[in-house]
Amino acid sequence: MIRIAIVATVLAVAGMTAQAAEIKVISANGMREVIAETQARFEAASGHRLAVTVVETGAIRKRVLDGEAFDVIMVPRNVSDEFVKAQRIVGDSQTALIRVNFGLAVRADGPQPDTGTPEALRKTFLAAKRVLITDPATGGISGVHLMEVLNTLGIAEAMKDRLVPNRGSGHHAERVVKGEADLAVQAEHEIRCVPGARFLDYPKDLQRTIVFVGSIGAATADTTAAKAYLDFVTGPQVAPIIKAKCLLPG
């Protein structure tokens, strides 16, 4: 029954264009699992096909500003706004997808360090010997934000040799659970959905909330198909999956 309802909703939204299209989607990592979970459903219901690329935000920014074509893009709002100014996306197509916060991962069955104040967070970082992070050089937003936090705390230099940058996808918290590191820093959903890991929030004045938005490419060859997918992924049929992936709706 659920599958029937999803199919019916997609058909109503998409209007079933006369000819199936290939929709090129470029997305930052925040939407990776939602896209993977829902891609087959959308394709089966609409007749369209998705060609999906998921990479770090920094790589997307370079590719788009260098002229790469796409139909739908999913990136943090500040980057999306930059694409509007560069006339790379249709400005009035911007639609909120998810909200992402950041924090630290520790083993759920281990010591629970204090991160409630900037000074407590500073001590927690300095007590760690090995901290897994998303390489900020890739433009990954959790890694970029971490470096801002460490600079604010005045410990960027002290932490330099303890940070272990990761350029691939995946949940750093899984390696913390295995005992490979003391801490991991990543997006909240990438920590909360890992069995055996516990999420530790940043202090309020050091937290940063990122809103991911989906938009239609200004040079898309099929606006109707692109809009059909954007309507699908922002619609009520995908909302339960967003929640199941430990994400917050936009």
Give pLDDT tens digits along the chain (250 positions). 445 444 444 444 444 444 789 999 999 989 999 999 999 999 999 999 999 999 989 899 999 999 999 999 999 999 999 999 999 999 899 999 999 999 999 999 999 999 999 999 999 999 999 999 999 988 888 999 999 999 999 999 999 999 999 876 689 999 999 999 999 999 999 999 999 999 999 999 999 999 999 999 999 999 999 999 999 999 999 999 999 999 999 8
pTM, 2 dp: 0.82
For residues 170 and 150, what is the distance between their CA atoms, to the nearest angstrom? Answer: 23
Number of domains in the chain: 2
Q: Do 120 and 194 fall within a single domain?
A: yes
Q: Do 89 and 137 fall within a single domain?
A: no
Residues whose CB falls within 8 Å of the CB of residue 87, separated by 6 or more in sequence, listed in order: 218
Residues whose CB falls within 8 Å of the CB of residue 40, separated by 6 or more in sequence, listed in order: none
| Pairing between β-strand 163-166 and β-strand 95-100 as defined by DSSP bridges | unpaired
Provide the domain limits for residue 73: 2-99+209-249
Q: Do 115 and 152 fall within a single domain?
A: yes
Task: List Cα–Cα distances, 17 to 36, 49, 92, 224, 228, in angstroms.
Answer: 23, 12, 22, 7, 9
- Nearest C-alpha neighbor of 171 from the set 150, 149, 195: 195
- Asked if 136 and 165 count as a contact pair (C-beta separation under 8 A), the reply is yes
Q: Do 213 and 95 fall within a single domain?
A: yes
